[in-house]
Amino acid sequence: MTAIALTIAGSDSGGGAGIQADLKTFSALGVYGTSVITALTAQNTMGVSAIMDVEPDFISAQMDAVFSDIAVNAVKIGMLSRIHSIEAVAAGLDRHHVTKAVFDPVMVATSGDRLIDDAAVNHLKTLLFSRAVLITPNLHEAAVICGGPVAQSEQEMRAQGEAILGMGAQAVLMKGGHGEGPDCTDLLITPDAVLPFVAPRIATANTHGTGCSLSSAIAAYLAHGLTLEDSVAKAKSYLTAAIQAADQLQIGHGHGPVHHFHAVWDR
């Protein structure tokens, strides 16, 4: 059987994040990738200059086209900033009986600017949290979701993750990439356990698309049939290696992408 995953996200014309990063990650991990584009962006390694949202009806049409013909094993959901788009995706997940969805709640730009208003955040909590097998917020996104300060310790990360569980999430991966110290620790928080995943913090400016790539890697391993815990562990290892190899690439003049094909191109 061919492992198949679907990404529901925005397009990054620079190729480092969004749909493009997801499809690269799927391919690197031996998964056939399909896509539903929720927005078009004009962006490069220096930043985003324009955004065009896709109409909700067309988001639904894309989902129906994929699911009516292709046996999707897992879904990754990225940035959704409009209420009607959130509603369209939630309805599509129900319509096609999706049980393995990984939701990366993109809410805050690298600059620290909010990308989504409070009304849309509430819609995400209500309509998507319970429909995803895993939510993968970084520290800034978790702070927005919880309405509090950015976590400064593992104890605070755990508290916010458990609060997100209380909002209906089945499991939460609190990502520590925006923290400090020699190690980057992510916490997988479920109703039954808290599991740390630790990797060395890598000094590089080329980290564009790390969140997209991690969540799509988890979806890829779920599509292969791995458990959630094993999928997170293998995805963390994949992303760490992709960041370690990022400086091998010479892409643009700003924050470049991770090296999705680090294990393939050298061959």
Could you read off the pLDDT of 150-195 as tens digits, one per residue? 999 999 999 999 999 999 999 999 998 766 667 889 999 999 999 9
Helix axes 83-95, 118-127, angle to 10 degrees: 10
Among 7, 34, 207, 240, the active-site one is: 207
Q: How high is the pLDDT of residue 113?
A: 56
Structural domains in the chain, sorted by start: 4-138+204-248 (3.40.1190.20)
Helix (H, G, I), strand (E, B) or coil at 125: helix
41-53 residue pLDDT tens: 899 999 888 889 9
How close are the terminal C-alpha atoms of the chain, in Å? Answer: 26
Segment (H or E) for 197: strand 194-200
In this prediction the pTM is 0.96
Question: Which of 42, 50, 52, 51 has the alpha carbon at shortest distance from 14?
Answer: 42
34 included as an active-site residue: no
The Cα 124–Cα 146 span in angstroms is 13
1-48 residue pLDDT tens: 899 999 999 999 999 999 999 999 999 999 999 999 999 989 999 988
Among 25, 34, 136, 210, the active-site one is: 210
Question: Which of 246, 237, 240 has the alpha carbon at shortest distance from 206?
Answer: 246
Among 24, 76, 100, 175, the active-site one is: 175
193-214 residue pLDDT tens: 999 999 888 989 999 999 999 9
- Asked if 90 contacts 127 with a C-beta cutoff of 8 angstroms, the reply is yes
45 included as an active-site residue: no
The Cα 195–Cα 86 span in angstroms is 30
- Asked if 28 contacts 39 with a C-beta cutoff of 8 angstroms, the reply is no
How many other CB atoms are found less than 10 A from the CB of residue 42? 14
182's CB contacts (< 8 A; 6+ apart) are 200, 201
pLDDT level of residue 112 (50, 70, 90 thresholds): low
The Cα 156–Cα 159 span in angstroms is 5
210 included as an active-site residue: yes
Q: How high is the pLDDT of residue 179?
A: 62
Among 7, 14, 33, 212, the active-site one is: 212
211-255 residue pLDDT tens: 999 999 999 999 999 999 999 999 999 999 999 999 999 999 999
209 included as an active-site residue: yes
- Asked if 229 contacts 195 with a C-beta cutoff of 8 angstroms, the reply is yes
Q: Is 147 exposed, middle or buried (0-12, 13-18, 19+ CB in 10 A)?
A: exposed
Among 15, 211, 240, 256, the active-site one is: 211
